[in-house]
Structure 1
Amino acid sequence: MASSDHYFYVLQCADNTLYAGYTTDPIRRLAQHNNGTGAKYTRLLKRHPMRMIHLEHFSEKSPAMQAEYAFKQLSKPQKLRYLTEHSSEWLPK
């Protein structure tokens, strides 16, 4: 049986870069990124620790992955604007 919880998320890394991804378990996935078993991009120690600054819930996988893909196509200024407009947790530095 497929999960009805699908998420598009954005992490802010310690080096102030952003990482976007898809998951069915945000807490587990953030832990994986921070312990070095997540995506290759987040395995570099200079990117640790990471914090989740944006999370969107979807009931189906496809829209969550489409949101992730669309976000990754944006320029950095566009990503920051998206986060400012869509996330109450996003606090620009």
Structure 2
Amino acid sequence: MRDKIKRKDKFYVYIVKCKNGTYYTGYTNDLGNRIKLHNKGDGAKYLRGKSPVKLVYAKEYRYYKNVLRAERKIKQLRRWQKQDLIKVYEQVQKSKQETPAVSGRN
């Protein structure tokens, strides 16, 4: 009988902006920890010497195969397309902060 592997319920595709202005795209199941690792110089070889990095885009996925597909698609984008994606993400994040919570009580 196969042992069941405990899997995380959430996966994230993310884009970070490096101190030299380049973008790096990756995926993880622990976004906060991954950003900390990148800033410590651990993790992706590409980011060594390019820290600190700033998280500029993140999207949550439930399934591993979907996050891999999303990462591949983002990595194929041109720089201006990534910048457009980041702008939309920033606008959504800003609107979430500005929208007051709606209470069900009158």
Distance 1:68 1:7 in 2: 9
Q: 1:45-56 alignment to 2 at 5 Å?
A: 47-56=50-59
Distance 1:86 1:49 in 2: 21
Tell me whether 1:4 sits opposite 2:9 in the alignment: yes
**Which residue does 1:31 correspond to in 2?**
36
Structure 1 stretches of 4+ with a deviation exceeding 4 A read none
Distance 1:3 1:71 in 2: 22
Q: Secondary structure at the match of 1:8?
A: strand
Q: 1:14-93 alignment to 2 at 5 Å?
A: 14-44=19-49, 47-88=50-91
How many residue pairs match? The answer is 88
Alpha carbons of structure 1 residues 69 and 3: separation in structure 2 relative to 1, 3 Å: same
Task: Give the counterpart letter for 2:58 in structure 1.
Answer: L
Alpha carbons of structure 1 residues 65 and 87: separation in structure 2 relative to 1, 3 Å: farther
**Which residue does 2:97 correspond to in 1?**
none
Greater relative CO, 1 or 2 (CA 8 Å, sep 6+): 1
Identity within the alignment, %: 30
The higher radius of gyration belongs to 2
Deviation at 1:32, TM superposition (A): 0.7
Structure 2 spans left out of the alignment, 5+ residues: 1-5, 95-106
Structure 1 spans left out of the alignment, 5+ residues: none
Distance 1:78 1:61 in 2: 24
TM-score (norm: length of structure 2): 0.77
Deviation at 1:20, TM superposition (A): 0.5
Deviation at 1:84, TM superposition (A): 1.6
TM-score (norm: length of structure 1): 0.87
